Amino acid sequence: MGITDTSHRPDGAVGKQGAPRRRADAERNITAILDAALVCFTEQPQASMAAIARTAGVGRVTLYTHFPSREVLLEAVLDHTITQAGAAIETAAPDEGPAVDALGRLLRISWRVLDRHRRLFELAQRELDPAVLRRHHDQAMGHVEQLLVRGRQEGAFRTDLPLSWLVTTVYSLLHAAAADVTAGHLSQDTAADVLEATLLPALRSP
């Protein structure tokens, strides 16, 4: 479900003057709900739908009209966050310069996004269906995959292992670093350097 999907609006058949206004209200409500849900899921993973509606300043009926279940809402928040992360990753210019340097920049940005939304991703991993997670994983890792393809063409990254496995390696170690930070086994400040120092020798051409 897209974040601006208003197909659940019950106002499909209202008069011409009412519709744009109601659509604007719906979009404002959806934005407020997604913002509130991100805060609630992050600060208190067990937050109820009622608490999320209260934080968003909307009624429970409005919340359930747009997001019929906690799972749908969690998936929408994840989708929203990954879309925003995609915009941040563009600023790392992954298509420019030597692939090894671009990977370093991409890892640093990805780590910042992951670290900031660590609790949300942990919650998603516990509560969402593995197939749903896989779809979001593919969405989030699109830039990494493109960069690996370019780096393989340029001879910088290894071609003796499947491309999908190299993407899995990056994704798994990013999440493992986040879990180690949560568990107090890795310091937040050094995690990005540690990731780069581990991943580059694993990915580079021998």
Binding site for a copy of itself (CB under 8 A): 126, 134, 160-162, 164-165, 168-169, 171-173, 175-177, 179-180, 183, 185-186, 194, 197-199, 201-202, 204, 206
Helix (H, G, I), strand (E, B) or coil at 36: helix
DSSP string for residues in 46-93: T--HHHHHHHHT--HHHHHHH-SSHHHHHHHHHHHHHHHHHHHHHTT-
Q: How far is the CB of 175 from a copy of itself (least distance, A)?
A: 8
Residue type at position 7: S
Closer residue to a copy of itself, CB minimum distance, 67 or 157:
157
**Closest CB 201 distance from a copy of itself, rounded Å:** 4
| Nearest CB to a copy of itself, comparing residues 6 and 169 | 169
Q: Which is nearer to a copy of itself, 88 or 176 (CB)?
A: 176
What SS3 class is residue 157? strand
| Secondary structure class of 204 (helix, strand, coil) | strand
Pick the closer one to a copy of itself by CB: 31 or 182: 182
Distances (CA, A) of 4 to 30, 51, 118: 7, 22, 24
Q: Residue 124 CB, nearest distance to a copy of itself (Å)?
A: 13
Q: Tell the smallest beta-carbon distance from residue 67 to a copy of itself (Å).
A: 23
In whole angstroms, the minimum distance from the beta carbon of 148 to a copy of itself comes to 13
Residue 109: CB atoms within 10 Å: 18
**Which of 93, 197 has the CB closer to a copy of itself?**
197
CA 5 to CA 172: how far, in whole Å?
31
